[in-house]
Structure 1
Amino acid sequence: MTAELVRGQNHPLSQARLEIRVSAGKPIVAVATIGDEEGRVRDPERVAHPGAPNLPGLEVPRQAAAVHRLAVDLDALPDAAHRVHVLLALPTGAGGPARFGAVAAPFVAVTGLDGSEVASYTVTGLESETAVVALELYRRQDAWKVRAVGQGYAGGLAELFADQGLPQAHQLAGAINDAVAQGMARSVAAPPSRTADGAGTRQAAPTLSPDHGGSPYGTQTPQGAATGRTGYPGGPAPTEPSVPTDPSLPTDSSALTQPSAPTAGGPIDYTHPRRRNSAPPPPPPTAPPATPGRPSRPVAGDATGWSMDERLYNQVWGMFEDLARATAAYRSAVDFAESRMDKELEQVLSDPRSRIGGQADAAREAARARHAQLVDQARQALDRDVAQLTAEADVVEPALPPAYARWDNPVWHGYRVPMEMPMALRLGDLHLPECAELRIPMLIRLPLERGLWIDSGRAGSPDGSFHDAHDLRRLAMEAAVAHVARLLAVHPAGEFTVYVIDPAGSGAQTLVPLVQSGVLAAPPAIGAAGVADVLGTLTQRVDLVQMAVRGGAADALPPGFDTSHHLVVVNDFPHGFDDRAVTQLRYLADEGPAVGVHLMMVADREDAAAYGPLLDPLWRSLLRLTPVPDDHLADPWVGHAWTYEPSLVPHGSQVLQRVLDQVAAARTKHR
C-alpha cells in the first residue's frame, strides 16, 4: 500500500535500495545532499548534482528535465550519513519559469527497484520559491524513514545550501547552474558530428516506458533510454565511469530515468548505465579509412563492450539516442520558426496603418518565407542525420545475433541452441513519424525484470488501419507466440520453462506451433481448474525460492528442483479467473521476476474493468506491447512518442517452426 504523505508526515522504509521518481510540468534540476545527525552538510563533496552525479549510495541525473529518477542505496551511504535530502530547483537562464508557483506542483515518489511505490508526496503551496527540499530520508536507531518536507527557498540553491550549513554555497550553486545550462544546450542540439573513424559521440540509450494515456520506455526510462535513460530508455561520459558499476543492480529497460548529459569533448562511454566493470572493455573495431571528401563507412559493433553482443547492444541504443536528439532538434527548430512567424504576423496586425494594402501583404509574405526557410534548413539537417543513421542501420541489422535480429534475418537459418543467455532480447522496432522508414530495434535486458502485456484491446493504429476485436485477439496471440518462441530460442536448453493458461481455449489454433513442437512444460491449461493448478504451482514455487533465499539456504532446495526461469502466458484474462486466481496473478507479477517467474498477459484492459482499480497495480507493473503498430511508448529524456512495431514472423515462413523443433530436440537431450 502506497503512503500518500502530506507536509511533515513520515513513513518507514523497509528496503535499502530505492528509487526516487520526480515529475513536474517543466524541466527542473534534481540534487541530493548527505547530512549529519543535525542535517548539516559539511562538505561540497557530499552533494550529488548534475556536475558530479555520483556519490557512494547516491546517483542523480545530469540534466534538467520534467521527469527524473534518482538511485539511493542506504546501505552504501557513508557511516556518518544520517540524512539524505532530495532537492528540486528551477534552472536559471533557460528562459523557463522563474518560480515554482508558475509550474505544476512537483510529484515525488519513493519506490522499490521493482517499481512498487513506498511513499509519494505532491509538493504543494509553493509560490515565489525557486528551490525546495522535497523529501528527507533520515535514520533513527538504525532504521530509515522518509519525511515529506516541502521547504522552499526564494533565493534558489544558494540560499538552500547556506541554510544546510554548506561552505561556499553560492559557488556550488553557480557550478550546478553552469553544468545544467551546458546539459540543456546539448539536450536539444543536433547529434554531434562523426569522428574520423566514423563513430559518433553518443549517450547510453534512454529507457522507454508505456504511456497509458498520460506520461510514458518506463519507463522507462529507459535499459536504456537515456536513463536518464534511462527512458530504453545516460549521456556520454568518460570511458571509465566515475563510479564502478555493481553488476547486481537491476537493468530494467522500461524504467523511467533521467538522461546523463554529454561531457563536452572527451571519449564516449557506450556501456549500460548500470553495468560497471572493474577494467575497461577492449576497444571497438575501427572503421575503414574514409575516402577524401566522403564520410567514413559505418561499422557494426563500433561501440565498446566485452563481447560483440554487448557492442551491438550499445550501438543500437546509441542509434536510438542519436535519432531522438536529431528529431528533438528538428522539432525545436520548427517550433521556433512557427513562433517567430506568429510574432511577426502579430506585429503586422497590431498596427492599424499596416493591416491593409501592399505593405501588409509584403510583410506577411516575408514572414512566411522566413518560416519556410528555417523549416527547410531544419529538415535538411534532419535528413542528413537520418541518412547517416540509415546507412549505419543497414550495416548493423545483418550483423545482429538471433536474440537481437528480426525473424526474417538470415542469421536464423544457421540457428543453434545457445550455451548461455544473451544480455538482451528484441521485442520489436521503434520509429518516429518524421522518419518512419528508419527502424531502431527495441531491446530489453535479460533476465526480464517486468512482465509483458500484449494488449488485444486497441481498435486502430497510426497507419490508419483498423481491426475488429476478433482480429486483434488473434494478432495479439500471434505476437505472444513469437515472443515466447524467441525467449525459448535464446536461452540454453532447459533454462526456460513455459506454461500457457487458455481458460476458454480461444487461442488453441494460434498456439499450435508451441504445442506440436513440445516446448511447453504442459498442455495449455483450460477451465477454472487448469487456471488454479498452474497459478497454485507457480505461487508455491515463488514462496519456496523466496524462503530459501531469505533464509540463506538456496542450496537447500528439494533435490531435482527445476532452477530454470519460468514464464506463464495468460490468454483472454480475466475469463476463467476468480478472486483467488486474480490475487495469485498479482502476486506473481510483483514477486515472481525476482525469483525467475515471469508473466506474459494477452488481454484487453477494458475486459478487466469490472474489477475496478483492483488491477491497476498489475497493469502498471507490466510493459505494454501491442500486436499492431502503436505510438504508446515514450522516452522521458526528450519526451518523444515512439511508434512500436512488434517483431512478427513473416507469413508463410517456416523459420519459427524450425527454431522450435531445435529447441525441443535440445530440451529432450538435456533431460
Structure 2
Amino acid sequence: MTAELVRGQNHALPLTRLEIRVSAGTPVMAGATLGDEHGRVRGVEWVAHPGCPRLPGLKVSQQAAADHRIAVDLEALPAGAHRVTVLFALLPGIGGPARFGAVPAPFVAVTGLDGDEIATFTLTGLDVESAVSALELYRRQGGWKVRAVGQGYAAGLAEMLADQGLAEAAALAGAVHEALARGGVRSVVASPPRPRTPEDDRVRRAPGHRAPAAGPPGGPAPRDCPAPAPSPAPASVPLPPPASPAGAGPADDGRAPSTPGSAGPAPGPVGGPVDYAHPLRRRTPPAPPPAAPTARVARSEEAAPPVAGDATGWTMDERLYNQVRGMFEDLARAVAAYRSAADFAESRMSRELDRALSDPRDRMGSAGDRAREEARARRDELTSRAREVLDRDLGRLAAEAAVVEPALPAAYAGWDNAVWHAHRTPLEGPMALRLGDLHLPERADLRVPLLVRLPLERGIWVDSGRTGLEAAAVTDPDRLRRLAVESAVAHAARLLAVYPPGEFAVHVIDAAGAAAASLAPLVGAGVLAAPPAAGPGGVASVLARLTRRVDLVQMAARAGAADSLPPDLDTGEQLLVVNDFPHGFDDRAVTQLRYLADEGPAAGVHLLMVADRDDARAYGPVLDPLWRSLLRLTPVADSHLADPWVGHAWTYEPLTVPPGSGVLERVLAQVAAARRAGGR
C-alpha cells in the first residue's frame, strides 16, 4: 500500500534498491546529496548532479527535464553516508520560471525497481522558492526510512547546498548553472503528459512488465567529476544541526515560535488554474505485489524491539547521545506531520463549505445541514487517519524511550535514575549534560532529555522572574527565586560529579547573601573553589580573577605557548554562578560579566546566572547582548524552547531531586572525597 506523505512525515522502506521519480511540470535540475551521521555533506564528491551524475549507490539524470528518475542502491553507498537528500532546482537563467509558485506543485514518488510505489509526496505551499530539498532517505535502527522534507530555498541551489554544510556550495552551484547555460547539459522540455487511462494501468501492472529504470547506480563518472574521497572515521563527537543557535540544544528567542503548517496550493501562472494531478498517482487499487526482488530486503516495518545505543558512534555514550537526538528529531517531525495534516483537513473543510454554501439559498434547510455534516465527516476522517499514524509513531518512540532511559550514563540521566546511586568518579569528562526534559502536548508523558554538549558553548540563564511565564505567574515570587537557585545548584552539582577530580571548579557570587539556604549543599560539602562572594568587593574580586584567567589563556593560545601559563592557574573548566544580579554590580563589573559571557567559553570559563530580567532594566541595551547569548531555562515548567528542525514550542521541565532523596548530598560528598584523595 502506497504511503502518501505530508511534510515532516516518515515511512519505513522495505527495499534497499529504489527508484525516485520526480514530476515537476517544468524543466528542473535534479540531483542528490550524501550526508554523514549529522546530515552534513563532506565535499563536492558527495553531490550527484547533471555534471557528475554517478556516485556509489546513486545515479541521476544528465539532463534538465520536467520528469526525472533517480536510481538509489542504499547498500552501495559509501561507508560514511547515512542520509540521501533528493533535491531539484529551477533554471531561471536559461528561460525557465524563477519560482515554484508559478508552476504546478512538484510530485515525488519512491518506488521499487518494479515500479510499485512505496511512498509519494506532493510539495504544496511553495511560492518564491527556486530550489527544494524534497525527500531524504536516512538510516534508523538498522533500517532505512524516507522522510518528506519539502524545504524550499528562495536563494536557489547555492543556499540549499550551503544549508547541508557544503563549504563549496556557491562554486558548485555556479558550475552547474554555467554548464546548463552553455549547453554542456541539454535542457529537455517535456511535453505535457497525456491523461492516464485504465489501459495504461493494466499495461503497467501486467505480469512481467517492468518500468524502465534509470540504470544501475554507480559506474564510471564523467571526466570532470571528482572521485569520492575515502570516508574518514566518524568524529569523536557529533556536530549539532546547523540550524540550532544553541549548539546542540534547542533554539530560544524568548517567545514561542510559529509552527510551520501545510500551506494551501501555490498560485498558478497567469492564464488559468494550475492542474495538480500527477501521472504517477494511482487511480485504482494496486494489484497484488509481485515476487520479492533479488535485492536484499530490509524489513523495517517488522523492526525488532528497540535497543539502547542503537545509533552511530565509537563509544556507548556517543551512541546514546545520537540516539536521544534521533528520538528528539523523530518526535518533532512526527508531530509536525500530524499538525500539518490536521490543519489541511480544517482548511479543506472550510473550502468545501465555502463552495457548497456560496449560494445564500443553500445555507438554510436540509441541503445546508447535509453539506456541513459531510464536510465535517471528511475533516474528522482525515484527522483520525493522521492521528492513527501519529499514535503509531509515538508508540514506537515511547517503547524506545523505555529502554534508553535506564541505560543512560549519569551525565544524561535524571536524578531518579539508579545510575546515580552507583555513581563513581569518572576518569574523563562527558560529551554532554542533561539539563531537563522536553515534551509536546500531543503526548505529555513522552519526554525527551534536553542534552547540551560539553564544554558549554554558551552560558545558562535560570530565569527567576515571573514575566512571560504562565506557571511562574501563579508562583509566589520568593518561592520562585528559591527554586531558581536550587535549579542552578543542581546543574552545578551534576557538572562537578561528571568531571574527573580537579577538572571542574565552581565559583559563586551571592552579593546580597540571599541564597545561603539554597547554596548550603555546595558549601557544606566543601566543593566550591572559595566561599560564596558577597558585597561589591567580593563581586569585583571573583570577576577580576576569572577575567585574568581568560586573558592569560587567550594570550597563550595566540602565542602557541600553553606551557607558559602561571603554575598557580587552574587549567580545569570553571563555572561562575551569579545569583541576584545586578545587586553588587557596578558598570565595571557589568562589563567584565559581559566579557566572560562572550570570551569565557573558549577559554574554559562558563556563566550560570540566576536573575530576573526586570531587575536589570536600568542597564537597558547594555545587557541585551548578554541575555541573547545565554540559554534561558526556567525553574518551573514553561513552553519557550524551540527545536532546530520544525520549531515547535516545547514544554521544558527542569530536573528535580526526588522528595526525601539524599542523592544530591551523596554525590557532592563523593566529589569532595575524590578531591581530597587527589590533593585538591
TM range (shorter): 0.5 to 0.7
Q: 1:430 and 1:367 mapped to 2: Cα distance?
A: 36
Q: How does 1:95-134 map to 2 (within 5 A)?
A: 95-99=124-128
Are the aligned partners of 2:460 and 2:608 in contact in 1 as well (CA < 8 Å)?
A: yes
Q: Percent identity?
A: 60
More deviation, 461-470/428-437: 461-470
Match of 2:337? 329
Are the aligned partners of 1:158 and 1:173 in contact in 2 as well (CA < 8 Å)?
A: no
Match of 1:204? none
1:398 aligned partner, one-letter code? P
Q: CA deviation at 1:442?
A: 0.7
Q: 2:302 and 2:126 mapped to 1: Cα distance?
A: 44
Match of 1:54? 41
Match of 2:648? 640
Match of 2:678? 670
Q: 1:534 and 1:48 mapped to 2: Cα distance?
A: 56
Bigger Rg, structure 1 or 2: 2
1:636 aligned partner, one-letter code? P
Aligned length: 457
Q: How does 1:521-670 map to 2 (within 5 A)?
A: 521-670=529-678
Match of 1:349? 357
What SS does the corresponding residue of 1:511 show, helix, strand or coil?
helix
Q: CA deviation at 1:485?
A: 0.4
Q: With CA pairs under 8 Å and 6+ residues apart, which has the higher RCO, 1 or 2?
A: 2
Q: CA deviation at 1:497?
A: 0.4
Q: 1:556 and 1:548 mapped to 2: Cα distance?
A: 7
Q: CA deviation at 1:173?
A: 14
Are the aligned partners of 1:425 and 1:446 in contact in 2 as well (CA < 8 Å)?
A: yes
C-alpha deviations, 1:81-140, integer Å up to 9, x for none? xxxxxx9x9667433353379xxxxxxxxxxxxxxxxxxxxxxxxxxx9759999x9xxx
What SS does the corresponding residue of 1:549 show, helix, strand or coil?
helix
The equivalent position to 1:515 in structure 2, one of 519, 523, 533, is 523
C-alpha deviations, 1:158-197, integer Å up to 9, x for none? 99934997875786999xxxxxxxxxxxxxxxxxxxxxxx
C-alpha distance 645-130 of structure 1, shift in aligned 2 (>3 A): closer
Match of 2:400? 392
Match of 1:454? 462
Q: 1:58 and 1:537 mapped to 2: Cα distance?
A: 49
The equivalent position to 1:253 in structure 2, one of 227, 248, 269, is 248
- TM-score computed with the length of structure 1 as normaliser: 0.62
Are the aligned partners of 1:48 and 1:55 in contact in 2 as well (CA < 8 Å)?
A: no
- TM-score computed with the length of structure 2 as normaliser: 0.61
Verify: 1:420 aligned to 2:434, yes or no. Answer: no
Match of 1:121? none
C-alpha distance 245-504 of structure 1, shift in aligned 2 (>3 A): same
What SS does the corresponding residue of 1:54 show, helix, strand or coil?
coil
1:580 aligned partner, one-letter code? R
Q: 2:186 and 2:127 mapped to 1: Cα distance?
A: 18
Q: 1:453 and 1:159 mapped to 2: Cα distance?
A: 46
What SS does the corresponding residue of 1:561 show, helix, strand or coil?
coil
What SS does the corresponding residue of 1:567 show, helix, strand or coil?
strand
Q: 1:366 and 1:412 mapped to 2: Cα distance?
A: 57
Match of 1:373? 381
Q: 1:351 and 1:567 mapped to 2: Cα distance?
A: 69
C-alpha deviations, 1:301-330, integer Å up to 9, x for none? 111221111111111111111111110111
C-alpha distance 160-310 of structure 1, shift in aligned 2 (>3 A): closer
Q: CA deviation at 1:472?
A: 1.3
Q: 2:640 and 2:463 mapped to 1: Cα distance?
A: 11
Are the aligned partners of 1:460 and 1:467 in contact in 2 as well (CA < 8 Å)?
A: no
2:125 aligned partner, one-letter code? G
Verify: 1:445 aligned to 2:453, yes or no. Answer: yes
Are the aligned partners of 2:576 and 2:607 in contact in 1 as well (CA < 8 Å)?
A: yes
Q: 2:615 and 2:492 mapped to 1: Cα distance?
A: 23
Q: 1:374 and 1:460 mapped to 2: Cα distance?
A: 35
Superposition RMSD in Å:
3.9
Verify: 1:161 aligned to 2:177, yes or no. Answer: yes
Q: CA deviation at 1:584?
A: 0.2
Match of 1:117? none
What SS does the corresponding residue of 2:449 show, helix, strand or coil?
strand
1:96 aligned partner, one-letter code? G
What SS does the corresponding residue of 1:568 show, helix, strand or coil?
strand
Q: 1:292 and 1:244 mapped to 2: Cα distance?
A: 27
What SS does the corresponding residue of 1:624 show, helix, strand or coil?
strand
What SS does the corresponding residue of 1:416 show, helix, strand or coil?
coil
C-alpha deviations, 1:473-519, integer Å up to 9, x for none? 11110100110000000000010000000000111110000000000
Unaligned runs of 5+ in 1: 1-25, 28-46, 63-86, 102-128, 138-148, 150-156, 175-239, 258-290
Q: How does 1:285-324 map to 2 (within 5 A)?
A: 296-324=304-332
Verify: 1:473 aligned to 2:481, yes or no. Answer: yes
